[in-house]
Amino acid sequence: MRWAGAIAKKKTLVAAEQDRPDVVERRTQWRATQEQIDPNRIVFLDETWAKTNMTRRFGRCERGTRLVEKTPCGRWKTTTFLGALRATGFVAPLTIDGALNGATFLAWVEQCLVPTLAPGDIVVFPHGDPHHMASSGDTRPPFPNYYKGGKEPGEGK
């Protein structure tokens, strides 16, 4: 439906928590101190995956005809890639066959990531509390100065 002069645009969603006074204050503090942070001390964690069965479920074809699409045959797999990005390059890469679980995530942190860290490094995991931790049964933070959302380190959930 079109209204006079209105144009439909894709919506950009942002976290509603950004409006909470405590979050507003912390974001203001973060912005004020960003220039003081050495970019070489920041370590961004990221995870991505690929599935061999990723194919479009819908498509276009002439009316009255069936759309036929080819997909890989055989064992469909998930490959997960986990790593850390610094200003100086990529560190602690891990590729696994299957989905990432809590035990594998913590083993990666302890065996691959921690040896690349130095005192004062800032680890940023954009997804907040790693969802992998719950599946490991280990409730300790993966990093000594781990920060989740609007809570102080050590406060937990």
Output the pLDDT for position 83: 93
Output the pLDDT for position 17: 86
What region does 63 belong to: left with phi over 0, alpha with psi -120 to 50, or beta?
beta
Euclidean distance between CA atoms 156 and 40, whole angstroms = 28
pLDDT digits (tens, 9 = 90+) for 22-75: 989 988 988 898 888 899 999 999 888 888 777 777 888 888 899 888 876 767
Q: How confident is the model at residue 145 (pLDDT cuts 50, 70, 90)?
A: very low
Output the pLDDT for position 150: 39
Residue appearing with tokens 């209204």: 3
Give the pTM: 0.62
How far apart, in Å, are the Cα atoms of 17 and each of 10, 13, 14, 20, 84? Answer: 21, 12, 9, 5, 27
Is a pLDDT exceeding 60 seen at residue 87? yes
77-100 average pLDDT score: 92
Domain regions of the chain by residue span = 16-26+38-136
pLDDT digits (tens, 9 = 90+) for 101-132: 888 888 898 899 999 999 888 888 776 555 55
Contact between 88 and 40 (Cβ < 8 Å): yes
